[in-house]
Amino acid sequence: MDQEFMAKVKMEVVDKSTAPARSVIAMQLKDVAVSFHGRTAVRDCTFDIAKNRVTSLIGPSGSGKTTLLRALNRLHDLTPGAKVAGQILLDGVDIYRGDLTVTELRTRVGMVFQRPNPFPTMSIYDNAISGLRFNGVKKKSILDEAAESSLRSAALWDSVESRLKVAASNLSGGEQQRLCIARALAMDPEVILMDEPTSALDPIATLRIEELMTSLKQRVTVVIVTHNMQQAARISDDCAFLLMGEDRAGELIEFDTTEKIFNNPIDPRTLDYTLGRFG
């Protein structure tokens, strides 16, 4: 092993001693597998997502990160031919078979997508509180408060306070993505899923979103898919590494704290990947 390289990577993993211990579990995955039309896209996923920590999903293109993430708030439900096997528990309740409606699940487990996708016909304000409106909240005082607090949490309030009624599409890409985060936060979710949320953004906007995620840890559990090893090392506390098996189906290779995954992984393939040797 080239010691120098190892040392460099080691430094990249930011000190995570402030994160709460892995004592409380937000979501549990038990032998989760997702298939499309009988073809397995990802399988063998068993790990716990700890509360108030950031969990990253890493792995090469096609290893099933997006597929796995979308299973966590049942976004595959409307995809013809998609099937989710195994168990996914939220607070101990099976999200596919327990008595938790899809709607309720999705209000508790929010999602931020790869490309910023604010609703183009709505204003900034309407975007921020759209989830509440969809779920029947009508009282103006509640909506106003939710708009302000979610936009503040997404570090967007100061720049949009004076133009809340303006169409959301007038914002820059980074601002739009923060609006999407605000939109998810307004539902006060327990978990937020993010699929490469910064891949369409410039380095500065990326940094702001990363800072945001770190500060959000106080109130939510974050699961993030990323291709950026530095990003995974910087912001995540735990890390799942996925890789394609021989039949091109993704599978979980290793799950551990980010520190272990980057510095001291059990599987040699994990090390190869985090060092950028393939994928």
Partner 1 sequence: MSDLVDLQSPHEIGHEMRDEIRRISDHLRRRRQVRSTIMVALCGVALAVTAVPLLLLLFELFHRGLPVVLHTGFYTQLPQTPSLVAPNVTGGVSNAIIGSIVLSAYAAVMAIPVGVLAGVYLAESDSKLATMLRIIAQTMAGAPSILMGLFAFSFVVRALHIGFSAIAGSFALAVLMLPVIVISSEIAVRGVPNTLREAGLALGAKPHKVSMRIVLPAAVTGIVTGIILAVSRAIGETAPVLLVIGGGYINSWKPLNPVSALPLSIYENAKSQWPSLRTQVWGIALVLVVFVFILSLSARIWASRKQRAR
Binding site for ligand ATP (CB under 6 A): 36, 41, 59, 61-67, 79, 227, 250
- For residue 17, give every residue at least 6 positions away whose Cβ sits within 8 Å of its Cβ, in sequence order, or none: none
Task: Please state, in angstroms and rounded to a whole number, the distance separating the CA atoms of residues 257 and 211.
Answer: 20
Q: Would you say 45 or 154 has its CB closer to ligand ATP?
A: 45
Q: Residue 88, interface with partner 1 (CB under 8 A)? A: no
Residue 168 DSSP code: G
Interaction between residue 103 and partner 1 (CB under 8 A): yes
Residue with the shortest CB distance to Mg ion: 66
Q: Helical H runs in 55-172? A: 65-71, 102-108, 124-128, 130-134, 140-153, 157-160
Q: Report, in Å, the least distance between residue 77 CB and ligand ATP.
A: 12
From 30, 93, 135, 219, residue interacting with partner 1 (rule: CB under 8 A): 135
Which one of 78, 99, 158, 268 is in contact with partner 1 (CB under 8 A)? Answer: 78
Q: How far is CA 173 from CA 3, 39, 99, 117, in A?
A: 40, 35, 38, 10
Nearest CA among 63, 103, 93, 112 for reference residue 222:
112
Indicate the Cα dihedral angle 175, 217, 126, 165, nearest 10°: -50
Residues 243 and 273: beta-carbon distance below 8 Å: yes
The interface partner of residue 63, options being partner 1, Mg ion, ligand ATP, none and the CB cut-off 5 to 8 Å by kind, is ligand ATP
- Give the one residue of 104, 144, 161, 211 binding partner 1; rule: CB under 8 A: 104
Nearer to ligand ATP, 31 or 144 (CB): 31
Nearer to Mg ion, 45 or 168 (CB): 45
Binding to partner 1 by residue 115, rule CB under 8 A?
A: yes
Q: Is residue 138 a contact residue for partner 1 (CB under 8 A)?
A: no
Verify binding: residue 208, partner 1, rule CB under 8 A: no
Closer residue to ligand ATP (CB): 8 or 248: 248
Q: Which of 140, 257, 235, 135 is nearest to 189 (CA)?
A: 135
The rounded radius of gyration (Å) of the Cα atoms in the chain is 19
Biggest CA–CA distance in the chain, Å, is 62
Decide if residue 55 touches Mg ion (CB under 5 A).
no
According to the binding rule CB under 8 A, does residue 73 interact with partner 1? yes
| Binding residues for partner 1 (CB under 8 A) | 73, 75, 78, 80, 103-107, 110-111, 113, 115, 117-122, 130-131, 133-135, 167, 169, 180, 183-184, 187
